[in-house]
Structure 1
Amino acid sequence: MSTKTQTTEPRRPRRRGPYAKTAAVRTAILDAALDVFAESGYRSGSLREVADRVGMSEAGVLHHFPSKSALLADVLDRRDVRALEVVPFDQEDGEATLRGLVRLAEYNATIPGIVKLFAVLSTEATSPDHPAHGYFIARYARTRGNLRHAFASLAAQGRLADGVSPERAAIATIAMMDGLQVQWLLEPGILDMAAQLRRFFQGFVDIDF
């Protein structure tokens, strides 16, 4: 009979792979950049300040994002991904789109830094040489198109007020949302963005919010 004792080597903790670590660092940089650009604007906000907030060197930031403009592009993309999770534009269901926009207004009230970033950048980007100039032109064109289709589907159902065209409704909706955001940023306590947007839609669309 064998008296040899078998031993089991203790299980080593699983190490996080390099991909997970890199993704975590990129996320931290994007969050820091969002804060810096929201507070100072893109032109005044520096990569050094972004790097300081994540406890790394400027060269370290540039290892993950080759330029400041590339970092800005990813920050904007991240914002859009989050927004689409709240408002999945469905061109065949105009009511769902408008309800989604109200939910987005509610969500935006919980993320003032991102709302401020958008307001600051959209103003700065009116300059043709701004790195986000093309992004905002494309974004507004895409948003107008999505909303135009949403209102057209409601018009086909007889739920859009007489004399209001889908194009006019789309432009007015964007103007309303942008204007509400600026007023809310200046004085957060004076209005409820979601409530005001509901009232706006009820003025020319047959939807019971």
Structure 2
Amino acid sequence: MATHPAPPRRDRLPRVPADQRRAEILAAALEVFGSRGYHKGGLTEIAERVGITHQGVLHHFGSKEQLLVEVLAYRDALDVQEYENQQPPYGPDLLRHLVDTARRNTQRKGLVQSYAVLSAESVTEGHPAQGSFRDRFTQLRELTADALRASCPVDAMPSDKEIDAAASSILALMDGLQVQWLLDPDKVDMPYAVGLVIDALLERVGSPSRIDNDL
């Protein structure tokens, strides 16, 4: 009786640990959503970048909406890694950190683009990232306002309205500069501009502190 050779045995690829796979998916999703936006960024493209299937992405995150929420948390975690002891600095040190962040952002265009695209999209009705960005801005305003208060003399403390407006202005400046820089990086010096405006606002609210911005 004729015999047929057995088909060659396929060696199984080593199984990637779940935590590692999730991290790979988050990094790929951050790139895809950042370059194409949430609505145009597809799970299939994200899956292909990681080397898995569309269903493989859903296995780890359940839905595209949940993936976006976790992508935003992942991006924030990258920022937290820059803090000493994983805690944000306080007072003038936080304001200097904002300048340092603007400086570091000039070396990570993809991350800046992801933030700019997703934050702009989040204002549309029903966008799954709207709550995440609202909470993020609330926290950043509070941290920045506290930093400004800590930089002011106790006996000449500005009103809450003035401090809150200054904090909102700093965050608006940083976000607006990022868009300008993405469009024309050779014409926009983000860290210089952020330091310049923070110093002007510190002077406006009566603080003797100044940012060392190598002016």
TM-score for both structures, normalised by structure 2: 0.81
Q: Out of 54, 58, 66, which is 1:62 matched to?
A: 58
Quick check: 1:86–1:103 contact (8 Å CA) kept in 2? no
Other-structure match for 2:17: 21
Other-structure match for 2:7: none
Quick check: 1:125–1:133 contact (8 Å CA) kept in 2? yes
Other-structure match for 1:129: 126
Q: Structure 1 residues 37-46 or 136-145, which shifts more? A: 136-145
Q: Secondary structure at the match of 1:155?
A: coil
- Cα distance in 2, alignment partners of residues 107 and 75 from structure 1: 20
Other-structure match for 1:53: 49
Structure-to-structure mapping, 1:132-171, within 5 angstroms: 132-156=129-153, 165-171=162-168
- Cα distance in 1, alignment partners of residues 181 and 156 from structure 2: 30
- Cα distance in 2, alignment partners of residues 127 and 76 from structure 1: 17
Other-structure match for 1:89: 88
Distance 1:143 1:200, change over 3 A: same
The answer on 1:207 being equivalent to 2:210 is yes
Q: CA deviation at 1:159?
A: 9.1
Quick check: 2:94–2:147 contact (8 Å CA) kept in 1? yes
Q: Secondary structure at the match of 1:165?
A: helix
Percentage identity across paired residues of the two chains: 37
Distance 1:60 1:96, change over 3 A: same
Q: CA deviation at 1:158?
A: 7.3
Distance 1:157 1:83, change over 3 A: farther
Moved over 2 A (4+): 84-90, 156-162
> How many pairs were matched up?
190
- Cα distance in 2, alignment partners of residues 194 and 167 from structure 1: 22
